[in-house]
């Protein structure tokens, strides 16, 4: 559920997909549909962050991986680059101000 603070009303999900958000760190929503691996129970991905250039989406997961997707990521099980280097869960990803 989203709220339009200017009009003081609830915005439904289908119209919210066209909102141009300044950042994107939500695990759920139209532009991140393709981040979920096959057979995911939706607890496998811990964090996402869209680059400030609005072209890349990074995700952090329970398998110790950081994955980079094209943004928006709307295709189910989208292609991505995967990077290992953690021995346990990666809990957070963020971009610097200059990506």
Question: Which run of H or E residues covers position 3?
Answer: strand 2-4
What is this structure's pTM? 0.82
CA distance 19 to 14: 10
From first to last of the 99 residues of the chain, give the pLDDT tens digit: 555 566 666 666 666 777 788 899 999 988 999 999 888 888 999 999 999 999 999 999 999 999 999 999 999 999 999 999 888 899 999 999 899
89 vs 4, 6, 37, 43, 54, CA distance in Å?
A: 35, 39, 15, 11, 26
């Amino acid at each position: 559920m989203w709220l339009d603070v200017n009009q003081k009303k609830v915005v439904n999900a289908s119209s919210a997909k066209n909102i141009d958000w300044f950042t994107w760190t939500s695990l759920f929503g139209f532009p991140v549909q393709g981040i979920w691996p096959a057979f995911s129970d939706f607890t496998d991905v811990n964090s996402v962050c869209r680059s400030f250039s609005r072209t890349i989406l990074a995700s952090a997961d329970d398998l110790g991986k950081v994955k980079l997707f094209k943004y928006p990521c709307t295709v189910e099980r989208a292609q991505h680059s995967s990077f290992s280097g953690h021995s346990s869960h990666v809990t957070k990803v963020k971009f610097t101000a200059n990506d």
